[in-house]
Structure 1
Amino acid sequence: MSGAVTSVPGMRAAYASATKPDEPLAALTVGDQPEPAPPAGWVTVDVRASTLNHHELWSLRGVGLPADRLPMILGCDASGVDPDGNEVVLHSVVEDPSDPRGFSLLSERHPGTLAERVAVPAANLVPKPAGISFLDAACLPTAWLTAWHMLTTRGRVADADAVLVQGAGGGVASAAVILAAALGKRVYATSRDATKRDRIATLGATALEPGARLPERVGVVIESVGAPTFEHSLKCSAPGARIVVCGATGGPFPKIDLRRVFMMQLEILGSTMGTAAELASLMDFLVEQNVRPVIDSTYGFTAVGEAFARLNSGEVFGKVAIDHLH
């Protein structure tokens, strides 16, 4: 990690000062960045906690972050306090007509959350329930919201009895296991890592090796791996099942037997993030069920470089959290 500190007065932040496809951590700088200058309709939030996502590593590699947007403060997830003293969680999806998706995430076109303060549209502030800590709340806006949207909105899990989560252990997949179990579903989850399978089992899932035969076909599959697991996802799907895809960490070009798709009347659905209203309903559900996110490790902001190294290690189970007060 670069230890360079910029001379611009302002607030401390962790940002991409360059992009390095092969050495993402070398593109990370911790130092001063200008204070937010929110446009009309935006507000500045004092950040209390944030968490890391693989999105940050991709940004440091230059994926979705061209050189003309550098330096860019990283981070999508945060909880904090708004100008009126309200405790809030930030919905990181910003409406953006110039983006083909119709939106962008904080840290793509607008400065992100790995800073003392961040500006966001006022509509992106979601009240934080008193029963959820700042650190737990900061885990939710990306990975947990994605999993919630995949299960409830895209996957229509209410109509299913069983769920398969491929590649459990990462942020979205581990969240999907916990949420599906809390929703009363039978959950099966795969991982190549025996240690992660042991941990997955404690979250309420039947943990299996990749490609293992399931005792039943499932109504919903949570797919974030792609090519290595997609054939298995198809074979494990019950008639009319929904295979919900949010990523392709193992490769984006799986072989698909279309005969199985049409004969079993399967749905293959793309899914990205979720709405502010869904974030609010997710937090309500966690409070009602007394469920909290799995936090792999917590670092003070002064050790944010170590937090990035932990994320980059590939050994993470759950979320890497940043306590901005330390």
Structure 2
Amino acid sequence: MKAILFKSPTSPLVVEDIKKPKATKDQVLIKLKYAALNHRDLWIMKEQTQVLSEGIVLGSDGCGVIEDVGEDVDDLWIGSEVVINPSLDWGENPIVQGDKFRILGFPDHGTFAEYIVVSKKYIFEKPEHLTSEQAAAVPLSALTAYRALFSKARLRSKERVLITGIGGGAALWALQFAVAYQAKVFVTSGSDEKLAQAKSLGALGGYNYKDPEWAAKAEKDSAGFDIIIDSAGGNDFNKLIEIAAPGGRIVNFGRTAGNISELSTRLLYWKQLSVLGSTMGTRDEFLSMLDFLESRNLKPVIDKVYPLDQVKEAFQRMETGNQFGKIVLKIS
């Protein structure tokens, strides 16, 4: 089967023929139709120092059809179109992942291939209102946004929400989820075009973070945010502390702008703010997320679809930061 292999940060991604996997025990063999890129894949390629002589198949998101099953799986699954929950071995504690937790696509082979085998506990029927292409753009980013917004921040209707860095998959899901939940949503971006696109999805306002006065404008418009969903971190994180409303919740799940270098401790305690970290989510949250999508007929924003052999171009687009929505690979 064809697969995209990552071998080391100094080696480009290559499309090679590797052995087709076989389903055993509780596993299913999925013939993948589409997969989607995540910033996680980019971080792995930049930061993984280990040389992998045989290569690893990246990719956490995928949608396809079950072609075969192991001996402990009902044959009725064969022919079903499914999506994959990439949050593997979360553990027993819903508050935090356990020691065995990992994300599909590293160190386990992921979805940038024609086939994948996964345990049956990580497969779910494709939502009927989504195409295969759309379904592939759901799992990692939608799960991340759902946990951040509902489990961590505990969003309530009519609350004022700020989502930073709009344009990426998780940020866009957070926007759609919050709008569907009747929140008052605002966004930031370094692109005026992306701000306009976010408003078309229901954002009430947007701020270009390249403007030195953006935080003051946001605070004036909102009188402070009840919830801030952040995937950037970096030097501007302290501005989020400043514009959070008293009793506000700030949830972070990324570091696209680097580590946080400054924090106003006085504002943190005087406003009685909660700063919460979040990563992926549990099986129950994945199920609740899919139910939320279906009940509200929500669909992912797709930026662009590339054939498998143009994966380098796909990652180049992600690295430039020009995308608005998920970047998807067509596999079969």
| 1:45-97 Cα deviation digits (max 9, x unpaired) | 1111110111112222243x622475000100001122321121101122289
CA drift at 1:168: 1.3
Q: 1:46 aligns with which of 18, 31, 39?
A: 31
Q: 1:88 aligns with which of 45, 70, 82?
A: 82
Match of 1:188 in 2: 186
Mapped to 2, the partners of 1:290 and 1:280 lie a distance apart of 15
Match of 1:219 in 2: 226
CA drift at 1:283: 2.4
CA drift at 1:159: 6.5
Q: 2:4 aligns with which of 14, 26, 43?
A: 14
| 1:131-158 Cα deviation digits (max 9, x unpaired) | 1111111111111211111101111012
Q: Give the secondary structure class of the aligned counterpart of 2:113.
A: coil
Match of 1:23 in 2: none
Q: 2:289 aligns with which of 277, 282, 296?
A: 282
Mapped to 1, the partners of 2:125 and 2:50 lie a distance apart of 33
Q: Give the secondary structure class of the aligned counterpart of 2:287.
A: helix
Alignment partner of 1:66 is 2:66: no
| 1:17-43 Cα deviation digits (max 9, x unpaired) | 3223xxxxx520111122224453222
Distance 1:96 1:74, change over 3 A: same
Q: Give the secondary structure class of the aligned counterpart of 1:190.
A: strand
Alignment partner of 1:35 is 2:33: no
Q: Is 1:127–1:280's contact at 8 Å kept on the other side of the alignment?
A: no
CA drift at 1:217: 1.4
Paired-residue identity, % = 32
Q: Which amino acid aligns with 2:17?
A: D
Match of 1:105 in 2: 103
Once superposed, which parts of structure 1, at least 4 consecutive aligned residues long, lie more than 6 Å away?
Answer: none
* TM-score where L is the length of structure 2: 0.86
CA RMSD, Structure 1 to Structure 2 (Å): 2.0
Mapped to 1, the partners of 2:227 and 2:90 lie a distance apart of 31
What count of residue pairs does the alignment treat as equivalent? 308
**1:127-138 correspondence runs (5 A):** 127-138=125-136
Q: Which amino acid aligns with 1:17?
A: K
**1:113-192 correspondence runs (5 A):** 113-158=111-156, 161-192=159-190
- For structure 2, which runs of at least 5 residues remain unmatched after alignment? 69-77, 92-96
* TM-score where L is the length of structure 1: 0.88
Q: Which amino acid aligns with 1:81?
A: V
Mapped to 1, the partners of 2:303 and 2:52 lie a distance apart of 34
Mapped to 2, the partners of 1:184 and 1:120 lie a distance apart of 36
- For structure 1, which runs of at least 5 residues remain unmatched after alignment? 1-10, 21-25
Match of 1:199 in 2: 197
Q: Is 2:235–2:260's contact at 8 Å kept on the other side of the alignment?
A: no
Q: Give the secondary structure class of the aligned counterpart of 2:156.
A: helix
Q: Give the secondary structure class of the aligned counterpart of 1:150.
A: helix
| 1:175-210 Cα deviation digits (max 9, x unpaired) | 211221111100010112122112122121111122
Mapped to 1, the partners of 2:294 and 2:101 lie a distance apart of 29
Distance 1:165 1:96, change over 3 A: closer
Q: Is 2:235–2:259's contact at 8 Å kept on the other side of the alignment?
A: no
Q: Is 1:163–1:186's contact at 8 Å kept on the other side of the alignment?
A: yes
Distance 1:285 1:291, change over 3 A: same
Distance 1:160 1:153, change over 3 A: farther
